[in-house]
Structure 1
Amino acid sequence: MALEDELSCTMCTEFFRDPVLLGCGHSFCRQCISLHWAVSSFRRCSICQQVSPQQPVSNLSLRNTCESYLSEKSTRTESSGDQECSKHGEVIKLFCQTDGKAICVTCKKQEHNGHKTQLLQQAVKQRKGKLKAEIRPAEKTLWSLQNGTALDNKISKYIQTQSQMTEKNIRKEFEKLHKFLRQEEESRISALNEEKREKGDKIEGRIQDGILSLSDRVKEVEEQIEEDDIIFLKNYDSILTRAKYTLPDAELSSNTLIDGSKYLGNLKYHVWEKMKDICPYYPVILNPNTSLPDFSVSDDLTSVTSCLFQQDKRNPFPQHRNSVVLGNVGYTDGTHTWEIEVGNSQYWSLGVCLGSVKTSDVCTLTPAKGFWGIRRVGSSFELMSAQISRLKTKGNPEVIRVKLDYRCDEKGGRYWYVRFFDAGNNYLIAEFNAVPGLKLFPFMIPEDSSAPLRVVPANIMLTVEQKLPFLERHSVIFMICLCFVTALTFLILAWLIERHNR
């Protein structure tokens, strides 16, 4: 420690940095003495207070000594790697596994006697290896993120693809609406122009007939005016009568003019009413995010087909092992009905399932796994259950109706009543009476590539509420009041007559 004191500046108490020698023989760091003199009135040594009129000179010998000492100390520390125990002053060579501390030999004999120990270098090597093994998954994840192979990168790319395809389909659907509206607009304007042409031609024809009739009459009168005076006077009365003749006034009526109400009356409502044909309502919409790559969901999300080849864009999320396609909305109460067109397909499954089911782990679709439905395998229809249960049908159902009813029992328990019908003849194919009253989602599984499963659009009836006159809406109440007043009047009259007779 004495040597380090000799190699340290008395001002900053650190090893000399660029030491300089004053005239008095004392040395300081160049920066330290410069700062000291900058705030002092005289250039004095801070140790002996002797004035140094000359500029200090570099103390090369002291600088070299400091650099050599520091280099030797660093080399010695790196080569040995040893650290001394702060308590015993011995080199630390052991590691106490019991307490998790680096110790010296004396520490092992005293404070750590009986503890499990190992060599310090061995402990460091083991723990460095363990850390490298633990950080390896993070390194792999970092590498996959940097190179675009991580799941998040795949999801990001898939979202871009979904966005582009959804935007394309939105524009396609709106183009259908625009096309319909343009055609409807042209049709109504064409009808308006046709009525304008017909009524305009009729008026124009009447005008031309009037011109022809009046021109002939004016010409005839003018010719008779030029007749011989005697003849003119003789025929004057008849000529005057003919000269007074004009066309009868046109008979104006609402039919003569354009019937604007026919084109503008409830225009938007009637157009909207006609749009039902191109705007069907589907009670179930499929969720394309639950579809496997070997399934093709239609652009309007109402049908799904099993494909021979996988689609180009794969969903990065884990999918159902049984290729289940779910509806996008689950039901928690109420009554819900939808129909699935299965056509002549002989391989399909459909029904309802719990939204909480981990579909990627399910391989058997049964009520125990959270699935309630029916399936067709060849010519037979089966109930989804732990054991094969054949179902009876009338003929070959092409449309299956699924009906959910949310019910409560006498004890307050809640459950679903699930039924499956042949929509063609309303024949009950199967039913589940006590499905847990949890959130249920429709599902479909197409297994025949030649026949898709389609959601049938619901029949929507547009009705207009007719508000009746006040008296007509409350006619029953008025009749009751009238009868009451009449009876009361008779009672009062009878009482007055009886009193008068007394």
Structure 2
Amino acid sequence: MTTAMEKLQELQREITCAICRGYFSEPVTITCGHSFCKTCLSWSWRVGLTTFSCPECRQVPQVREFPAVNVRLAQLTDLSRELCSLLLQSAKGQHQCGRHKKALKLFCEDDQTPVCVRCSQSPDHGAHKLSPVEEAAHNCRKKLQHLQNHVVGKHLEEAEKLLAQEARSAAHWDWMIIGEYNRLHRFLMEEEFQSLERMRQEERARQDRISQHMQTLQDLMQELQKTGDQPNVELLQEVKQLLGRSGSILSQRAKAVIPELRECPIPGMIQMLSQFRVDITMVPTSASPFLTISEDKRSVKAEEGWQLETSHPEADFSHYIFAEQAFNSGRQYWEVDVTQLSQWILGIHTTYLRRKRGRNVDSCTSTFLLCCVKKEEDYYLQTHPGSLDHRVKGSVLRVGLYLEHNPGTLVFYNVLQSSLIYRFHPILFTAPVTPIFCPGPPLPGIKSGPMTLCPVESCRHSYL
């Protein structure tokens, strides 16, 4: 029995395709002598390959044409499959009916189950279509082989083509995306170069104005000294004109010397920061009786009667409104509408590390602020701490604040101009950061409106 089983296994190997591991279907034989299913070999020899080698021994056929079906091998495969089926049944013994203990020689096509002769004569199968087990098994194997080679194989080939198409499409999209980002990088580099060049030109013009103003002052000093040395009558005759000219020259000081905040729009910056928008609200109570917070906790207004008790309002915490939210990680961005205010203060309150002499550091509780101050007809933006004290051409209507906890960064933006105002960096945060607001100090005789937190959704739509 062992020898017969070994012969059976050897026969099965001879009629089995080395690619799909199933019985041959439309077998083809190449010049090296190995045979495969026609469909399997066509999959192996895909279009585009430069070398058509044997999938089993890797030899390259001398003839590149696809071989024809080996009809004799196909007939031998069919006969061998039937023989293998019979040998397997003989080796394992026939199955028996559980009720009648008879061999299962028939197959009920209606119930799709093997039955014995006595079962086929019972009322349960009397009207059913019956066929010999060998014939039914042969037909079943043909169906399975057809399903394997023509249905599943076709879908597999389609899936393979689709996978290759997706791979090509993905590579194409990769290159397109990379190209667009490279274009964006080039555009930003060009914008950066142009912005820096504009600032350098403005700086040179400003230096020229200051140099000319210095020269004018030096000439005026010499003229004043020269006129002062003249005799009394001549001095009195020229002094009126000289004093008038001196006043005119000195009045040009602000325009020539006081710095003006540079306007440097950064295209796309506000739109990019909008992805870090956070929805914040104000603490509904205040230490100051002159500040009123709205019911939705999104705006605060300074009432009449607010008197400044210090020349440094940034140091007076009683007039600050704190946010209900505090942040200790990540990146956040929020915007504040200050359209109806002449003066205002925005910033954050936190604990941070301050470096002292040498390598020593100590922990400090402080604020980082941007203040808008109005002097006569001009508006000035100042930072505390910091060195910013610059005049602006007009009032800032909406301020954006960007906070990044690591590395510690706080940046102020003029939202409507998409331009930078000031950046605090680095700040060694050691505790959560809380946004703070102050709609003042109010100016005498000027009625101020509220300071309002811009809703997240409305700000997003405004940039579309």
Determine if the TM-score, normalized by the shorter chain, exceeds 0.5.
Answer: no
State the structure with bigger RCO (CA 8 A, min sep 6), 1 or 2. Answer: 2
Point out the structure with max Rg over C-alpha.
1
